[in-house]
Amino acid sequence: MNEAPELGERVLLAIDTAIGTSIALGVDGRIFEATSDDPRGHAERIGSLLAEVFETAGVGPERVEGVVAGIGPGPFTGLRVGIAAAQVFAQSRGVPLLPLQGHEAVALEALAGALAGVHVVQDAKRRELFVTEYSGIDWAGVPVRSVEPHLVARADHTPAANEVWPERIPAAGLVRLAARRLAAGRDFEPNRALYLRAPDMRQPTAPKRVST
């Protein structure tokens, strides 16, 4: 549990499955978080983790006023599970969906240590990396993105001085960021997953016409 005065009276839920599964519930100025490091069992773990945060916080789902969806960057298979869960929860409760980039939450924690800037680097598999660069924190307490999320070949990556490799995306940070953006009247990200590359699954092509 973390103190989060920026929440005020808001009750916000965050779901992210870019790296493992991370769920957080912000209520009464506090944030409760539940996580799983299983890189493949997102769908199986989301239900139990949701139940865990609501039980720990001692509130019911009807209190939620907004759902933060971690939109990546991340792999297709894992990322879509969390986004779908956030969309379903928001629609079923009739509350806003609040999309945010997961790297922003990682940068928020790193920049709290007074770093001048930070590079968030995430393993993208296939000998590639997801990289986003941040220059600092703005007046609203939100990390300033200086270079958008992009894909880099691991062999071409040059390590930076202030580099962070997250083990998971902190859903608690997503709750904080959502509260700060709402308080400052800031927009959220487009409701679109950041895969940064085409998924492995492809639509079948139309069969070739056989000439007679």
pLDDT tens digits for range 141-175: 999 999 999 999 999 999 988 999 999 999 999 99
3 pLDDT tier (thresholds 50, 70, 90): confident
Contact yes or no for 97/87 (Cβ under 8 A):
yes
- Summarised one tens digit per residue, pLDDT across range 79-108 is 999 999 999 999 999 999 999 999 999 999
**Average pLDDT of the residues in 194-205:** 63
pLDDT of amino acid 185: 96
Q: Does the structure show a pLDDT above 70 at 206? A: no
pLDDT of amino acid 99: 98
pLDDT of amino acid 2: 85
Question: Which of 34-43, 47-56, 128-137, 170-179 shows the lowest mean pLDDT across its residues?
Answer: 34-43
pLDDT of amino acid 51: 95
pLDDT of amino acid 201: 44
**Average pLDDT of the residues in 101-128:** 91
Q: Say what the pTM is.
A: 0.90
- According to the per-residue pLDDT averaged within each range, which of 33-37, 39-43, 58-62 is highest? 58-62
pLDDT of amino acid 16: 96
* Average pLDDT value for the chain: 90
77 pLDDT tier (thresholds 50, 70, 90): confident
